[in-house]
Amino acid sequence: MMFVVALSAVLLAANAAGLSSGSPPEPGKKLDIREMTQVNGILQVIRRSHHVRTNHTCLSAKKITKISETQYKYQLRSRNGRTPSYPYVTDEVIVNLFESTSNSKVYEARYTSRVTGLTVKLTLKKKHLDKCFVLWVENSDEDNGCELLMNASAFDGIIPIECARYYERHCSHRSVELHRSDCIYN
């Protein structure tokens, strides 16, 4: 009995500290990430539940070119600070799409960042039209979690309920807000 109480206390403390469980929400449900490659323009990261201790804000991704059906070049961009006076940092990455091991009709994505040195695996978990997306992100440093992204051209300060509800219900780790009103997305 004491073991169960102690285990519960440890789990509550870990949750309060915002530690990631490392396991994706709704393990069996995956959507095809190829749908995100159809977005032309900028995707901005509104919030995420991994790497929550960061100085970077205003994160975005922009497709630069399609190399092949399963390979794309993206520009990742962020501001290295909380105020407009801080510089923006960019990273160009090659995103490789691959069939999910659990469903050959669903694709996931992987890239390696030269800036962070991390290899990142992306799984699409929820979307609403081409406006918002929720990703499960597995990082090579094992700090895993969700990201809520919006198509910058469709973002008016309101997150569509489908994505907002999914994130709140299934990405319950501590989150960091990355979008700020003074962000410049280009």
CATH number of 87's domain: 2.40.128.20
Specify if 141 maps to a domain: yes
Where does residue 179 rank: exposed (0-12), middle (13-18), buried (19+ CB within 10 A)?
A: buried
Number of other residues whose CB lies within 10 A of the CB of residue 6: 10
Mode of pairing for the β-strands spanning 132-139 and 145-151 = antiparallel
Predicted confidence pLDDT, tens digits, the chain (186 residues)? 333 333 333 333 333 334 444 566 665 589 999 999 999 999 999 999 999 999 999 999 999 999 999 999 999 999 999 999 999 999 999 999 999 998 889 999 999 999 999 999 999 999 999 999 999 999 999 999 999 999 999 999 999 999 999 999 999 779 999 999 999 999
For 139, the enclosing helix (H) or strand (E) is: strand 132-139
SS3 label, residue 58: strand
Specify if 185 maps to a domain: no
Specify if 182 maps to a domain: no
Can you give the pLDDT at residue 167? 96
Picking from 62, 65, 64, 66, the residue whose alpha carbon sits closest to that of residue 78 is 62
Q: Which residues face 80 on adjacent strands?
A: 56
Could you tell me where the DSSP H helices lie in 21-170?
161-170
Can you give the pLDDT at residue 103? 84
Q: Which residues face 98 on adjacent strands?
A: 108
Specify if 7 maps to a domain: yes
Specify if 56 maps to a domain: yes
Specify if 80 maps to a domain: yes
Q: How many residues does the chain have?
A: 186
Domain total of the chain: 1
- Mention every residue, 6+ apart, whose C-beta is less than 8 A from residue 183: 44, 57, 58, 79
Identify the domain containing residue 126 by its residue range.
2-177
Confidence (pTM): 0.85
Can you give the pLDDT at residue 121? 99
Specify if 159 maps to a domain: yes
Supply 52's token pair: 């929550």
In whole angstroms, give the CA distance from residue 30 to residue 47. Answer: 20
Specify if 184 maps to a domain: no
